[in-house]
Structure 1
């Protein structure tokens, strides 16, 4: 039985443009992670010293989770772009890792004054929500068969 494009939900019919948006979003996160971890001087030039001290004080598992969150999201977006159901797993890893980083950075510790606050918490929450949306999107595609 062949599924017609008109029979697919809107997010399946728009998989490619949505995957490109997801790819761009996750690429920015992967770039931020990579530039921060490699201590790229020009990228970090505007970071206050307190921010770098805070990042350096985070446990190793937070850095690892941050990497899994960003690079998992990027891998999931690439797999979604080419239409593979394998996107579910990196998106799942990205969601779990992003949630762990959120809990550590906003519930278990306090960033230095001036670096945290409501805006930073809401942006971090947005990251977790978008990771969850991408995971659900991939799961639906895998279970409905519009991802191969």
Structure 2
């Protein structure tokens, strides 16, 4: 078992903050009022109105899996790997819908691709970090 590096806890805290922001985004989407939806451009309205339930479930898996995985990582628990895996799967499913199935690429501006790409990269990094931490003995059962 290797000694826990000094950067580990700050990274875990940053992951918690990142994933809590995701939970807040999910909560805001679920609490979207008809007035909020009506204020959006028509294509955005159609995107949200036609979103299948499985995409919403993938979004929930992504953000709640990431949040639980981050807390588990901070507490140095091996279950972090499982939750980050669930989160990564949720992100991939959600992004597949957004960028392949929904046609959102036709109306999204280039700048609106940055955050989804960052989300995918962070999900991959956190999953890989948790696996590496488990292999190095930084996580307990």
Task: Answer yes or no: same fold by TM over 0.5.
Answer: yes
Listed as ranges, the gaps of 5+ residues in structure 1 are: none
Q: Show CA shifts across 1:96-116 (max 9, x none).
A: 1101111110122222865x1
Cross-structure match for 1:136:
128
Cross-structure match for 2:104:
111
Decide which of 42, 60, 65 is 1:72's aligned counterpart.
65
Classify the secondary structure of the residue corresponding to 1:58.
coil
Instruction: Using structure 1 for the length normalisation, give the TM-score.
Output: 0.82
Pairing 1:33-52 to 2, within 5 Å after superposition: 33-39=26-32, 44=36, 48=40, 50=42, 51-52=44-45
Query: 2:101 & 2:34 partners in 1: Cα distance?
Result: 29
**Whose relative contact order is higher, 1 or 2, with alpha carbons under 8 Å and at least 6 apart?**
2
Instruction: Check whether the contact 1:54–1:112 (CA below 8 A) recurs between aligned residues.
Output: no
Q: CA RMSD in A?
A: 2.4
Aligned length: 139
Cross-structure match for 2:16:
23
Moved over 6 A (4+): none
Distance 1:46 1:126, change over 3 A: farther
Shift of 1:117: 2.6
Shift of 1:91: 0.3
Listed as ranges, the gaps of 5+ residues in structure 2 are: none
Distance 1:26 1:48, change over 3 A: same
